[in-house]
Amino acid sequence: MDTDELLPTRDPVLRDPELDLDALEAHWAPYGRRAPMSGEQMRGADARAQRLGVSGDRLMEEAGSAVAAVARALLRSTDRSDGPILVLGGPGNNGGDGWVAARHLADGESRVLAVLVASGQRPTAGDAARDWERLAGMTRVERMHAATVRDVRIVMAGVERAALLIDALLGTGVRGTLREPIRTAVDLTLRAREAAVPILSVDTPTVVDLTSGVPSDPVVRADVTVTFHRPKQGLRTRVGGALAGRVLVAPIGIPSAADPA
């Protein structure tokens, strides 16, 4: 890791109870001013960082901590703090970032409903599976599994009462028409937004391609998106930017040596 990078897990600024989105965006502004990269370049940087000794679990911990910080800052700008925070996660690493965020938010005394939207009983990515299991037994976290369209609809009944919805369903690399049960989860996310529930997307709205900005069908429309390490080309396109909403770029400990040449 770059020694001059103050990462989310140890950054005292992120623990400020008055920190709002404007202040957080200003705090992370140096990362937002970096040159944008494509989704493919980000995946390469992630892989090279791990070869340089930064574990995938460490990167996920920093990313999820950043998501939790943005969630708290977003909640301070709303009057919906009485409801639970709903975290929708898919089976991969995008969901893993959401599970880490859920743990940090629950540690901060928020009530969290963490929903795994996937056919399998647990995430398929190893780091994500570990972070899903770390939520077990937490008093302020309720874990649920939504494997079917019916499950998703049951879980999200009353979604308009949520304080915040965190979209950690899918990251980049998915194109075209979404499959069930993710498709129904995205549809209900759109319904939540219509009910004025703030939507925070992890890395990219499900799913806006981080290289081209081309959306899936359907696609999440976020109020705020937190992406990692450097800005992404797809979130700077007209369509991608409109779907991402306000974009913050958070550090997660990828060293500069891992960036593309």
For residue 258, what is the DSSP state? G
Predicted confidence (pLDDT) at residue 103 exceeds the cutoff of 80 = yes
Q: What total of structural domains would you count in the chain?
A: 1
Position 43: which residue type? R
pTM of the model: 0.96
In a domain, 168, yes or no: yes
Query: What distance in Å separates the CA atoms of residue 101 and residue 141, rounded to the nearest whole number?
Result: 11
Predicted confidence (pLDDT) at residue 6 exceeds the cutoff of 90 = no
Percent of the chain's residues with pLDDT above 70:
98
The boundaries of the domain holding residue 232 are: 15-254
Q: Report CA 51 to chain centroid distance, whole Å.
A: 24
Task: Read off the pLDDT band of 242 (50, 70, 90).
Answer: very high
Instruction: Write out pLDDT tens, residues 157-213.
Output: 989 999 999 999 999 777 778 999 999 999 999 999 999 999 999 999 999 999 999
Q: From residue 6, give the alpha-carbon distance in Å to each of 58, 62, 235.
A: 14, 11, 24
- Helices in the chain by DSSP H: which ranges? 21-27, 29-32, 39-51, 56-75, 93-107, 126-134, 149-155, 182-194, 238-244
In a domain, 220, yes or no: yes
Predicted confidence (pLDDT) at residue 1 exceeds the cutoff of 50 = no
Task: Read off the pLDDT band of 3 (50, 70, 90).
Answer: very low
Q: 150, 111 in Cβ contact below 8 A?
A: no
Which domain CATH number covers 33?
3.40.50.10260
Determine the pLDDT at residue 5. Answer: 76
In a domain, 66, yes or no: yes
Q: For residue 7, how many C-alpha atoms fall within 13 Å in the half-sphere facing its CB?
A: 17
Q: From residue 36, give the alpha-carbon distance in Å to each of 113, 131, 249.
A: 33, 29, 10
